[in-house]
Structure formats: structure tokens, C-alpha cells
A and B are shown apart, each in its own frame.
Chain A
Amino acid sequence: MDTALAANPPEAAGSAGTAPQLESFSYDDAVVRKFLFAMVAWALVAFLVGIILAIQLPFPVIPGTDIPTNLGLEYLTFGRIRPLHTNAAIFAFAGNAIFAGIYYSTQRLCKTRMFSDTLSNLNFWGWQLIILLAAITLPMGVTQSKEYAELEWPIDILIAVVWLGFFGVNFFMTLMRRRERHMYVALWFYIATIVTVTVLHVFNNLVVPTGILKSYPIYAGVQDAFMQWWYGHNAVAFFLTTPFLGMMYYFLPKQAERPVFSYRLSIVHFWSLVFIYIWAGPHHLQYTALPDWAASLGMLFSLMLWMPSWGGMVNFLLTLRGAWHKVASDPILKFFVVATTFYGMATFEGPMLSIKSVNALSHYTDWTIAHVHSGALGWNGFLAFGMAYFLAPRLFQAKLFSRKLANLHFWLATFGILLYIIPIYVAGITQGLMWRAMTDTGVLAYQGPTGFIQTVEAIIPMYVLRILGGLAYMAGACIGAYNLYRTWAARPAKYDVPVYQAAPLSKHYDGDPQRPAPTISGVTNFALRLNVWSTGWWHRRWERLPMRFTAWVVIAVVVASLFEIIPTFVIRSNVPTIETVEPYTPLELAGRDIYIAEGCYNCHSQMIRPILAEVERYGEYSKPGEFVYDHPFQWGSRRIGPDLARVGQSNPQALWHVLHFDNPGEHVPGSIMPPYKWLLEQELDTESIPVRVRAIMALHPGDKHWDKFSFNDGKPYPTGDEAVEHAKTQAAKIHAELEEQNDNGPYVLTWKEKVDEDGEVVKDKNGKVVMVPDKVVEPGSKVIALIAYLQRLGTDLNRTPAADDESGEPAEATAESDNKTATTTLGSVGVKGGR
């Protein structure tokens, strides 16, 4: 870059009155190079994990064998590595792309080096450490189970430090030291990104730790769901949209060498986007137990958001006016144009999906998956790789290795994304329609377990096509990585570090634009003022005051958030109390934590929507009051398997669950759920039960059930050693049920040869080796705790409350206790509940 223009900022010269002293500086491109490497490497990891997941769905076992596609390893199971895929795509791939783009463009837009090379490097290495920790903990089943916020609290603290402490401080200090008077629109979007992600991250991750690797969110049920999707939706907004918009505002006009279409559109769409996006989170919870007013606001603000979102697309596409001949020949611009197109499609589709009646069909289906991939692969992916091709020759100071390969990458990626999303749209709509299909006689067309399997089998071919699409997209990325690598390999022995000169900003500035005269006349005073205001003349002043600008962004985001958050937490009628809903027993709580750790929510929802077909299929729709002890909520967002909100009512049998976990595909023919044999073998950690119980009790101070708990015969809720004892007693009861149901015998996992005292193998009369059980399902196994939780799920609604609160009698009058057959005494001491 030459210094001619850099040395001559238009306003700096005249306003100060004296000849400005020029300062010399150079840009830190070394850190940008690092982020670019990391971006490409993590992109490949994210795509690879995605392809593994895509294979696991249509092929639960390796074809022709009975080896599960997860190789029988819990660490490779869908529920655990799906979060790895999303986290790798969002935080590793897109995250490093954001840093690369922001570090490169901010320095140039501010005419200054980043504030601190140390902070830049701490940002880089800190972020890679976070990703590494994610890649280790998620397959281990260490998760908060909130989508895109799965990482546990110690990593969350690290994220906050790296994001705000290293990246944020570095960025804002760079702004303070800039030598360009006004901030370009790209910087506005970066500011919004940094402050909003901080706010979202902190408030969605407020937890009570029960150990270094486990915590409970302070919110429960409806409120937890609200906070999660306030976060989740705005992670999309402020991690995958605003920084990328800012980057596009920099790289697109640079590459096209055309002025940005409209400065005024930039202002309008920036502020409307920042203010309105925040409201839209509840559209992820249409038809759920979230109060209807919140869901309605989510829908309405999503619709309002359509035009602010498209402001970016229109500004980008119209910037290319007169440069389309370049697009035809320049792979970088091709990437940018496709990215912009997918951005436009995704931001049209988003508001459409938030419309309640559309959402009723799309929610829990693959339609959502198609939508997010058109956003992530189309918008973020194409922009990131286009940017990589822009940066590579400049950063590596060598000609791009091959333009041809870049074009091949572009076409493979375009073909791949279409082959991914089109089948998955078809799959989503097909399954959604099958779920709701009802016959003339008013019953479900695809009813029961067989019917659900039919809806899965119908979309398996689409799942197979999706793998091919993913492979094509990844093949493109591999070619891109090779191309970038070869460009890097041709770098000079020593990078040239150009030195630039620019004058520092003077203290005083009087170049602000004057209030323009109205362009209309003969109207009311208000209309005149509006006319002048809408020219955006006042905004120019804000653009040279970064702290004030940031303060306004914070106000916009926080005010918009509070409008929804305060009523959600304060209005009691949002979550009407249900008398019979009680806390989980210690064993159920431990089982629930297994459900969370295994990532069951990735495939199973726990939310029956008030929709006829859904009530017919799963039972009474879910009530807000049913989730008050759910830390965290487990409503889920996709039904790869059926809803489990009332599984305790429909499948209470212990043996059914054990058979099913042992081999789902055999027990429910056609099921694509992987076996969970390790749950049958591994021992439940009972030692941590007291601290878990204590944490939940601390989150519900003064709850009457701590003094009088139905599942402890009306005595206080068991704590400490008593909690462990209570858990063991309940486990023994369920285990006894299991053995009784299993023809009065243990559930055998493996057999061994019978050996007599002399170590001789025992044979029967016919000379056949006698086999005896080797490993069996024990009362202390994880599966028993998980069954305890599943048996409880959704049943509280139908329990009869304690007959007489004052009598101190145990609440025996449950619906089930009328049952004449409830005479078993198998280990039921101290535990009741009609099971």
C-alpha cells in the first residue's frame, strides 16, 4: 500500500490549523496470518465432523456389518459430537474468520497498528485453547446442553476473558488510537459484535457449579428456554451476521473497487438491525410453553427484521453496479456474490419460519437444518473463503497459486451446498407433513412407533444425498486449503513490512456537517424535522466518537432485551404453578444429568406443542409449570427421534428401556438411534449426588417441597448421605422391576463359560459348555438412573395432589394407587410414586 493517501486524511489537515506532525506505523499482519491458518484448519475439522454426523443418521451401523457407525464409542456418538460440529463451525471456523477479517481491516480503517501485539497474540492462542478444550470436553459428555453454549463454566470464563479482555480491549484501544477521524460502517458492526456477544455470553451462562465440569443454570424451564434462545438467536445475529456484514463492507468494495452503494442505507440498516434482532429470539420457541405474547413478539420482530437484514444485501449487490463484468472473471467476487445471495435468502427465510403457522410445520424438522446450513455454509463459508483468497496474496506476498483451483473450489462449493440443502429441505417438509397427516376418521396417518419410523424411512434417501453435498463442499474446501498452502509456500524469505505515515487526530475538530435544510415545504413542523433527521446528517458526528457510539449500541441492545426479559421473569402468570409438580428425586436428577451429558436433546424434544396432531401423537401438550425444576431445560430443537415429554406415561417399563438402550435398531425395527451399551455397563457416580441436590435446593430457596417431599413419604427432601441412600433405594426398586419383567432374571450383558473349583470348564450331559452370566445390569448402573428420570418424565401432571396437606400423611392418593394390582413390595421401601 502506498502512503500517498494514507498520509493525507482529508479532514486532519485543515482543522488543526498547524501542519500535522506525521507518524510512522506498520500493520500487524502476522496475527492475521495466524488466524487465517486457524480458520482454514478448523473449517476442515468442522466439515469432517459434520460429514461423520451426516453418515451416522442414514447408516446407524456400517452397512453389511453390525458395527455401529460410532464404532461403539460413546465419544463418537451423535449426541456428543453434534455439539462439537456446531461449535467447531461457529466458534472455530467462523470465529477465526472473524478475527482474521477484523484484525486485517480494523488496522487499515483506523490507520494504526493494533493497540497491543501481546493482546493480539493472547487473543489468538487463548481462542485456540478454548477450541481445543471444547474438542476435548464435548466428546467426553461435558456439556451445559444449551445449543451453541454447551461449553462448561470454566471454559465460559476463559471465553469471556479472551473475547472481552483480550479482543475487546485490543479493539477498542485501537479505535482510540486511530488516525482516521470517522469510523467506517465496518467498524460499527465490529463494535456491535463485541459488546453484544459479551452481554449474551455472560447472561446465558450464569450457573451454579457443582464441580469443575458440571453446573446448573440459574434459570429453569421457561425462563431458561427464553434466555437460551435470546442468546442462541443473537449468537447467529452477532457472531455470524454482524461481524460478517462488517467484513463484507470492507472486502467487497475493496475487491470490486467500487464505492459502497448507500451510506444512508448503511446507517438505517445498522441501527435497525442492532435494535430489532435482539427481540426475535422467542421465534425459536413458537408453540412451546413460552407465553404467547413473547412468541408473538418474536414473530413480529422477525418480520420487521426482514428489511434491515436485506439492507446489507441490497447495499452489497448495488455496490457491484458497473462491476458485474469483474464478477464473471474474479473468483473472489464470485464467492462474495454467492455469500450475499445466501445471506439474502437466509434472512428472508428466517422471518418466514418465524411465522407461527409456518413454524408449526417446520419446527423440529430438517427444514431448520437446511436453513442454518444455507446461512453457515452459504453466507459465512463463502464470505470466509472469498476473504481468504483476498488476503492470501497480500499476507503471503505471493501471487495466488492457482486461479483455476479457486474457481474449482467455488463451483464445487456451490454445487455442494445446493446438493446439501435441497434434499434437506425436502426431508424437512416431507417429515413435517407426515407428522401432521391425519385420516378422515380423525386419527394420525403415521401413528405410533411404526408410524414415526415411517417418517424417518421416508427421508433416509435425502440423508444420503446430503452426505454427497457435504462431501462436495468439503472437497472444495480442501482444494482451497491446498491453494492457500501453495500460495503460502511461495512466500518471500522475509515478509516485507511496509511503513506508512499519517497524522494523528487533532484534539479539536470542527468539521461536523451542518444541519441541512428540509427538502420539503408546506408541511407540519414535525414532518420537517423528520425530513431533516432522516438524512442522517447527525450520524456523522457519532462516527467520530467511538465511546458514545458504543454506548448507544449497548443501550439499543440492552433496552430491547429488557423489554422481553423483565416480563418473562416478573409476570407470575407466565408460569402458572402446578400443585403436583415436584423436584426430581436424587436418582432422577442424576439420571437427568446423564440425559444431558449424552446429548439426548440433540435428537429428542421434550415439548409437546398445542397442535392437534402433536397432542394425538404424544399426549397432553406441555405446560409451563411442568418445567420449573428443569435446570437446564431440555425442550430440544429437532426431532430426529420422537418427543419424550411424556415418555414416563407411555413407556414406563424398565425392561423396555434396557432392551432399547442395548440395541435400539433391533428393539424398534428401523430405528436409527445408536446403541448405548455403555450406559448398561458403567457405574453411576453417586458421590456427587449430595452436591447436585444441594445446588438445585439453593436455586429454589424456600420451596415447600424441601420440607415435604411426596417421593420421600412426605418427609423432607433427602440431602447428604440420605440423598445417596434414597437414590440407591430407588435404583434397587427399578432394578427389581427390571429383573421381574425380564422373566425374573438378571439382564445379562455378556456370558462366560462356567468353571468349577479346579478351573475346569463345566460341560453338560451333551458335552456342551455351560454358560453363566458374566456381566449383568447392576442396580448401580447409569441406565437405572436414566430410567428413573424417563419414568418420571411428564407424569407429574397426572399425579393427584396430597389428599390433605395438614395431616402430615404421605401423599399416597396418586392416580396409580387406586390400582388394585399395586401389591408388589419389591424394594419399594421409602420410594413411592406408583411405580
Chain B
Amino acid sequence: MSEQDNKPQAPQTPDETPGVQEDLLTGHVYDGIQEYDNPTPAWMTWIFIAFAVFTPIYLIFTLMSDGGLTPHGQLERASVANLEKKFGELGELQPDAATILKYSTDEQWVAFGENVFQTHCISCHGASAGGGSAPNLTDDAFINVKDIEDIVVVVRDGANNGAMPAWGNRLHPNEVVLVSSYVASLKGTDVANGKGPEGEVIPDWSAGDAPEPDATEQEQ
């Protein structure tokens, strides 16, 4: 190896295999390594300059947009559009018994409620709502629910000392109502392999009735 390392390059004629072009060398030699004095390729310089010019333009535009061009501005617009997509035809739902009951039989919106349920509830209540670490929702027994609108209260505000989270923090009010409607539709369907009943057996849902006068304090 010792010979090849520092052997000065023999000049070669240009029409042979291109070797070292002596006239273009800088004259620098380091441990046998030489350097050409070629200029920086122009395309590289210009692409670099293009991005350098783009930088202040981009910054000024995004700063002047007052948030409109930032991710947050984009999210805001996308959220409004998506809400329209979701609930444009629905308007704002009221969390009352009539509304909950109505959407518990409406096929399209039960499917929507089921979607919400599948997204947020199955971790604890099971994929078929037959219970898991949390109660079975397909039997007739409920712990914190007497009337149909109690479902909304439990979903929205949580229950069991926070083990059931307050989904009002997380879901759109319509989603709370629709997932409650879906849950209402499950009552008494008794899926296979469900968890045993917890709480008290309650009567079938009724719309519009005032709460029973003797409604007792809810239990854990």
C-alpha cells in the first residue's frame, strides 16, 4: 500500500480515460489527496438562494395571516366544516327524554351513536356492550340510571367517582345525546356472554314523563 498512497498522479492525455486535469488543480496536496478548483455547481447555488428568499416570504405571510395559516387556523376551519358534515341536517339536539328516545330508533343515527360508542366506550363496556371492566349495558339493570335522560347525565358528567369519565369534556353535545340514544336502544337486548346484572332493574323507557316522585338517591 505504501507506494500507491503518495504517488503523484501522472498527467494523462485528455482523450484517454479522463484522469487528473492538472490545469484545474488548486495545487493543494494532503497525504496525496489533491483538490480541483471547480466552481460550485450553479444549480445548487440557485436552489439554495431560492429557499433563502422563500424563508422571509413564508414567515411574513404566516405571521400576517393572524393565525389563519397556522395549524390552529387550519384546524378551526376543518372543524367547522366537519361539524356541518356531521350534524348539518340535525341542528342542536336537546338532552331530553323525547329526543333520546326518538334517535334510539332512527337507524341512521343509531349507527352514528354506535360509532361514538365503538370509539370511546368499548374499552371498558366491551365491543358488544356486554360489559368488561365496566357494567353490561344490554341487560335491564342500571346503576346510575332510572330514566332515559339519566343516560345523558352519566355520559356527560361521568359516574362512579370518575371511573366513568365525564364525556361532556370530550364529545360534542349531539354526540352525547346520540350515544345515549344508542345505549338506550341496547337495553334488554341481552347479548351473549354479557356480564352479570349490576344495579337495579328498571322499567322500559318512557318519553316525556316527569321523574317518579319517589325516585330514590342513586347508588353506586
Tell whether, in the assembled complex, residue B31 and residue A108 are in contact, meaning their CB atoms are under 8 Å apart.
yes
A824 at the interface (CB under 8 A from B): yes
Indicate whether A815 sits within 8 Å of B166 (C-beta atoms), given known contacts A304-B55, A653-B134: yes
Which 6 residue pairs are nearest across A and B when measured between Cβ atoms? A322-B18, A448-B119, A442-B85, A259-B34, A835-B162, A262-B38
B160 at the interface (CB under 8 A from A): yes
A612 contacts the other chain (CB 8 A): yes
Contact A314 B41 (CB under 8 A): yes
10 further interface pairs, Cβ-Cβ under 8 Å (given A109-B31, A393-B1, A821-B159): A4-B6, A109-B30, A259-B34, A292-B70, A297-B59, A300-B55, A448-B122, A621-B75, A798-B166, A821-B160
Q: How far is the CA of A266 from the CA of B28 in the complex (A)?
A: 13
| Cβ A821 vs Cβ B115 within 8 A | no
Within 8 A of B (CB), among A291-322: 292-293, 296-297, 300-301, 303-304, 306-308, 310-311, 314, 318, 321-322
In the bound complex, how far is the Cα of B31 from the Cα of A589, in angstroms? 58
The answer to whether B169 touches A649 (Cβ under 8 A) is yes
**Beyond A259-B35, A325-B17, A650-B120, is A292–B71 a contact (Cβ under 8 Å)?**
yes
Q: Are B122 and A449 in contact (CB under 8 A)?
A: yes
Q: How far is the CA of A612 from the CA of B76 in the complex (A)?
A: 9
What 0/1 readout, one digit per residue, does chain A (25-48) give for beta carbons within 8 Å of chain B? 000000000000000000000000
Is A612 a contact partner of B55 (Cβ separation < 8 A)? no
CB distance from B108 to the nearest CB of A (A): 9
Q: How many Å lie between the Cα of A262 and that of B86 in the bound state?
A: 60
Contact assessment for B112 and A441 in the assembled complex, using a CB-CB cutoff below 8 Å = yes
Nearest neighbor of A397 in chain B, beta-carbon distance: B1
Chain B residues with CB under 8 Å of A619's CB are 170
Q: How far is the CB of A518 from chain B (nearest CB, A)?
A: 15
- A329-337, A654-662, A756-764 - the one binding chain B: A654-662
Contact B71 A264 (CB under 8 A): no
B114-155 interface mask toward A, CB cutoff 8 Å, 1 = contact, 0 = none? 010011101110010000111000000000100000000110
User: A223-267 vs B: 1/0 string, CB under 8 Å?
Assistant: 000000000000000000000000000100110011111111110
Q: Do A798 and B169 have beta carbons less than 8 Å apart?
A: yes
Partner of A296, one of B58, B124, B161: B58
Q: What are 13 A-B pairs with beta-carbon distances under 8 A?
A: A109-B30, A184-B31, A254-B33, A264-B38, A300-B51, A300-B55, A304-B51, A307-B51, A443-B119, A651-B165, A741-B134, A822-B161, A834-B158
* B170-A650 in contact (CB<8A): yes
Query: Is the Cβ of B161 less than 8 Å from the Cβ of A835?
Result: yes
| A705 CB within 8 Å of chain B | no
Is residue A498 contacting chain B, with contact meaning CB distance below 8 A?
yes
Tally B residues with Cβ within 8 Å of A: 82
B37 to A303, Cβ gap below 8 A? no
A547 to B162, CA, bound (A): 64
The residues in A between 467 and 483 inclusive whose CB is less than 8 angstroms from any CB of B are none
User: Which residues of A sit under 8 angstroms from B34, Cβ to Cβ?
Assistant: 253, 259-260
Given contact pairs A612-B79, A798-B166, A821-B159, A265 touches B41 in the complex (Cβ within 8 A): yes
Q: Is the CB of B37 within 8 A of A263?
A: yes
A6, B163: Cα distance in complex, Å: 78
* Smallest beta-carbon distance A326→chain B, Å: 10
Of chain A, the residue at the smallest CB distance from B19 is: A322
Q: CB distance A824 to B220 under 8 Å?
A: yes
Cβ–Cβ < 8 Å partners of A259 in chain B: 9, 20, 25, 33-36
Distance from B60 Cβ to chain A, minimum over Cβ atoms (Å): 11
User: Within the assembled complex, what's the spacing in Å between the Cα atoms of A264 and B119?
Assistant: 59
Complex interface: chain B residues within 8 A of A611 (CB): 71, 75
The answer to whether A184 touches B33 (Cβ under 8 A) is yes
Cβ-defined contact, B52 with A260, below 8 A: no
- Taking a contact as CB atoms under 8 Å apart, the answer to whether A303 and B51 are in contact is yes
Q: Which residue of chain A has the shortest Cβ distance to B58 in the bound complex?
A: A300
Q: Contact: B6 with A264, CB < 8 Å? A: no
Cα separation A564 to B119 with both chains bound (whole Å): 40
> Which among A182, A450, A652 has the highest number of chain B CB atoms within 10 Å?
A652
CB distance from A576 to the nearest CB of B (A): 13
Chain A residues closer than 8 Å to B70, beta-carbon distance:
292
> Is A394's CB within 8 Å of the partner chain B?
yes
Tell whether, in the assembled complex, residue A612 and residue B118 are in contact, meaning their CB atoms are under 8 Å apart. Answer: no
Whole-angstrom CA separation of A163 from B89 in the bound complex: 66
Q: Mark B35-56, 1 if CB is under 8 A from A, else 0.
A: 1111111001101100110110
A300 to B: closest C-beta gap in Å: 4
Give B4-31 as 1s and 0s: 1 = Cβ < 8 Å from A's Cβ atoms. Answer: 1110110000000111100001111111
B82 CB-CB contact with A under 8 Å:
yes
A261, A292, A296, A356: which contacts B38 (Cβ < 8 A)? A261
Q: Which residues of B contact A646 (CB under 8 A)?
A: 170
A651–B167 CA distance with the chains assembled, in angstroms: 11
Q: Does A1 contact B (CB under 8 A)?
A: yes
Contact A821 B161 (CB under 8 A): yes
- The minimal Cβ–Cβ distance linking A372 to chain B, given in whole angstroms, is 23
Interface membership of B214, Cβ < 8 A? no
CB distance from A753 to the nearest CB of B (A): 27
User: Does chain A have a CB within 8 A of B107?
Assistant: no
> Smallest CB-CB separation from A797: which chain B residue?
B169
Chain B residues with CB under 8 Å of A826's CB are 161
| Cβ-neighbour of B161 out of A253, A441, A824 (below 8 A) | A824
A66 within 8 A of partner (CB): no
Q: Tell me whether B193 is interfacial, beta carbon within 8 Å.
A: no
Identify which of A303, A612, A798 contacts B54 (C-beta below 8 A). Answer: A303
Complex contact B36–A314 (CB within 8 A): no
Say how far A656's CB is from chain B's closest CB, in angstroms: 5
Contact across chains for B166 and A258 when beta carbons are under 8 A apart: no
Most chain A C-beta atoms within 10 Å of own C-beta, residue among B30, B79, B82, B220 = B30
Q: Is B200 an interface residue (CB 8 A)?
A: no
Please measure, in the bound complex, the distance between the C-alpha atom of A307 and the C-alpha atom of B55, giving whole angstroms. Answer: 15
Q: Nearest Cβ in chain B — how far from A193, in angstroms?
A: 18
Name the one of A257, A260, A325 contacting B36, with C-beta atoms under 8 angstroms. A260
A366 at the interface (CB under 8 A from B): no
| Residues of chain B lying within 8 A (CB to CB) of residue A654 | 163
**Residues from chain B with Cβ under 8 Å of A769 in the complex:** none
Known contacts being A264-B38, A612-B79, A835-B161, is A1 close to B124, with CB within 8 Å?
no
Which of B6, B38, B59, B161 lies in contact with A1, CB distance below 8 A?
B6
Inter-subunit contact B119/A612 (CB<8 Å): no
The verdict on A447 contacting chain B, using a C-beta distance below 8 Å, is yes
The yes or no answer to B3 lying at the interface (CB within 8 A) is: yes
Closest Cβ of chain B to A833, distance in Å, is 8
A10 at the interface (CB under 8 A from B): yes
Q: For B44, what are the chain A residues with a Cβ–Cβ distance below 8 Å? A: 265, 307, 310-311, 314
A713 at the interface (CB under 8 A from B): no
Interface residue B188 (Cβ < 8 Å from any Cβ of A)? no
Residues of A within 8 A of B112 (CB): 441, 443
Q: Is the CB of A260 within 8 A of B161?
A: no
B37–A264 touching, CB < 8 Å = yes
A637-656: which residues lie under 8 A (CB-CB) from chain B?
646, 649-656
Question: Taking A292-B70, A612-B82 as contacts, is the C-beta distance between A447 and B118 under 8 angstroms?
Answer: yes
Q: Is A525 an interface residue (CB 8 A)?
A: no
A152 at the interface (CB under 8 A from B): no
Question: Is B28 a contact of A263 with CB atoms below 8 Å?
Answer: yes
Complex partner residue of A610 from B72, B118, B144, CB under 8 angstroms: B72
Interface residue B78 (Cβ < 8 Å from any Cβ of A) = yes
Please state if B157 and A257 are interface contacts (CB–CB under 8 Å).
no
Quick check: is B208 within 8 A (CB to CB) of the other chain? no
B218: A residues at CB distance < 8 A: 820-821
B216 on interface, CB distance cutoff 8 Å: no
| Complex: A440 Cα to B85 Cα, angstroms | 8
Residues of A within 8 A of B33 (CB): 184, 250, 253-254, 259-260
Q: How far is the CB of A350 from chain B (nearest CB, A)?
A: 13
Is A815 a contact partner of B124 (Cβ separation < 8 A)? no
Please state if B144 and A821 are interface contacts (CB–CB under 8 Å): yes
Q: Does B83 contact A (CB under 8 A)?
A: yes
Contact of B6 among A2, A105, A311 (CB under 8 A): A2
Q: Does B62 contact A (CB under 8 A)?
A: yes
Instruction: Give the chain B neighbours of A1 by CB distance below 8 A.
Output: 1-2, 5-6
**A444 contacts chain B at the CB level, 8 A cutoff:** yes
